[in-house]
Structure 1
Amino acid sequence: MKNTLTAAAAALALALPLPACAQQPATKAAASQDADPALWVVKDKDTTIYLFGTIHVLKPGLSWFDEAVKTAFDKSDEVVLELVMPDPTTMSGLVKSTGLAAPGTPPLIEQLPAAKRAAYAKAVADIGLPANAFDRYRPWLAATQLSVAPLSKTGYDSANGPEEVISQAAKAAGKPVIGLETAAQQLGYFASLSQPAQVEFLTSTIDELPTLGTTMQKMVDDWARGRPEALADELNDSLKDSPEVAKVLLVDRNKRWAKWIEQRMQKPGTVFVAVGAGHLAGNDSVQAQLAKDGVKAVRVKY
């Protein structure tokens, strides 16, 4: 496996909901393929918290909101997502405020190593945009756009993702929905990355665009078959050459979410928590952070 940030371009679908400006119109289809993604539970005498790993963008045709996942959702009094998405206008404003470079900043292509500029220009052209489309983008935003656009063309869409399905089901059932983070916080994590880390993220994305579809499909297959260990291998491999990105986008957030769960365990009730599957896999997962404080998350067998 390749030791770059590359798969992180696809792993964004596991680790962070994508900016609204990257989303495409929904593609609907009848569910036809059974999927059994992993589910965990943390409980004591009067509190139960389910932990469900999602993929934020999916193609239509996977049947996953059933069996143990649906049972856990139905039993829950409240639903917790990574964030409750703001309206498109607000989201667009946040993306601009965090993802656009300050006036006077050199065009993005000039910030890249000379050897990567031709590949960058081709990547922009391949998604049907003019060469200067991302001139004012910070590298992290260009990386997400370049990685998401090809996925959208092949049918991946947030409208098919678990967050949207769960949100609609919660609304229909009258369940409250809250976010662990705000959109401003999530985009701020990208914006806080150093310039070298952002450039590395972008160049790695460019290098691996030809295999992005294959990488994403493998992640979806592992998710659908309930194989968090395989997801962890893919994610860890993609991030190990950039400790800064791993810390900001994954590890630190997992620690904060584990503390939230521990605090929520002090109140009775049943809660359904759905976060990107990458956060529930590997040595730095939410479950691993909970275990450090003596809180055990048990895999639900189904």
Structure 2
Amino acid sequence: MEAQDHALEAERRGHGAGLWRKGEERSTAVDAGGAGVFEGAIMLKRLIAPLAALLLSSCSLFGEDADPALWVVKDGDTTVYLFGTVHVLKPRMHWFDEGVREAFDASDEVVLEIAKPDPQAIAALTAQLGTRGGPPFAPEVDAAARELGMPAGAIDKQEPWLAALTLAQLAVKKAGYDSGNGVEANLSEAAEDAGKPVKALESARGQLMLFDGLSGAAQSAMLEETVKALPGTKARLDKFVAAWAKGDAESVGAEMNRGALASPEVAEALIARRNARFADWVAARMGQPGTVFVAVGAGHLAGKGSVQTLLGEKGLKVERVVY
């Protein structure tokens, strides 16, 4: 593990070269004070934050009914439900009922992207992988960070991928959204209350390594796309959550994957390869009896190369659950 960490450090030193001001040399020192660079680092596990589309809902005073999309794969003795999640919601959106609740209640186990993480461990790992020394980013990056409440220059202590994630999360938080209202948080709590085992498709470290392993060019593209997208965040989120709430999977996928499409490398690392792994897991699980409720980011269940498409290529029939 120590050798791997040294290799990661060497790789990080080459990231984001195009984002520093011209005429300044980059320091190789890493500022240990960066431990506070990402408030609520637990959100990193979701991976869709840099796409600036992750998540949210707009609710009326008395609540809003939502009927998000749900799919099922089954054979004689195995049933796997596939549910697309959003990671942060405002209160009073009623999605955990009807068909979704029935599928959850019928399941023997719940499978999420990652299991409930230790926030302190995530924060420490984020600081390890995501801090840097050297010249500052371009002025527009710091300006965006300051507008979202960060101190001047604080964003410059972060690697480009973490800076993108931080800006996206701060924009979400400023809009009044809470991870405690997100789908995964509710599913985890409900599983615990019902005594259902919760399993994970990925680890927190593995998800962070996906970002940290991106090339400097891909990280730069991700950060630049995030900064450009910030002014339109609310409008996009309103559109996104409306699509999710009515089960419009294609619109959800298009919005959540928009940021990744700015870089083919980002799309391959964060979407395509993970879709393939998720589909492989489901296909293998079909060899064991039982009923499973699988919940992953909604972008993985929509569009070209979706988990459902890949399962179909493996000869498995995926059906939309009508409720």
Distance in 1 separating the partners of 2:261 and 2:103: 34
Whether 1:45 and 2:45 are equivalent positions in the alignment is no
> Any conservation in 2 of the 1:15–1:278 contact (CA below 8 Å)?
no
SS in 2 for 1:51: strand
* Contact persistence 1:78–1:175 (CA under 8 A): yes
Give the alignment's TM-score, normalised by structure 1: 0.86
Q: Which runs of 5+ in 1 are unaligned?
A: 1-11, 20-28, 110-116
Counterpart in 2 of 1:186?
207
Match for residue 58 of structure 1? 89
Q: Does 1:216 align with 2:237?
A: yes
Q: Distance in 2 between matches of 1:107 and 1:80?
A: 42
117, 129, 143: which one pairs with 2:164?
Answer: 143
Aligned positions of 1:30-179 closer than 5 A = 32-101=63-132, 105-109=133-137, 117-179=138-200
| Distance in 1 of aligned mates of 2:269 and 2:320 | 26
Shift of the 216–61 alpha-carbon distance from structure 1 to 2, 3 Å rule, reads: same
Equivalent pairs, count: 273
Alpha-carbon spacing, 1:157–1:18, altered in 2? closer, same or farther (3 Å): farther
Alignment partner of 1:293 is 2:314:
yes
Q: 1:41 to 1:108 in 2, by over 3 A?
A: farther
- Whether the 8 Å contact between 1:79 and 1:271 is mirrored in structure 2 is yes
Task: Give the conservation status (yes or no) of the 8 Å contact 1:13–1:276.
Answer: no
The residue number in structure 2 matching 1:282 is: 303
Q: What's 2:273 paired with?
A: 252
Deviations 1:64-112 (A, max 9, x none): 00000000000000000000132111111111122122xxx42341xxx
Letter in 2 for 1:61: R
RMSD: 2.1
1:46 is aligned with what amino acid? D
Partner of 1:268: 289
Letter in 1 for 2:91: P
Larger RCO (CA within 8 A; separation ≥ 6): 1
C-alpha distance in 2, partners of 1:100/1:118? 19
- Percent identical pairs in the alignment equals 49
Distance of 2:151 and 2:259 partners within structure 1: 29
TM-score, structure 2 normalization: 0.80
Relative to structure 1, is the Cα distance of residues 58 and 14 closer, same or farther in structure 2, using a 3 angstrom cutoff? farther
Q: Which amino acid in the other structure matches residue 190 of structure 1? A: F
1-structure distance, mates of 2:171, 2:210: 24
Structure 2: stretches of 5+ with no match in the other structure: 1-42, 51-59
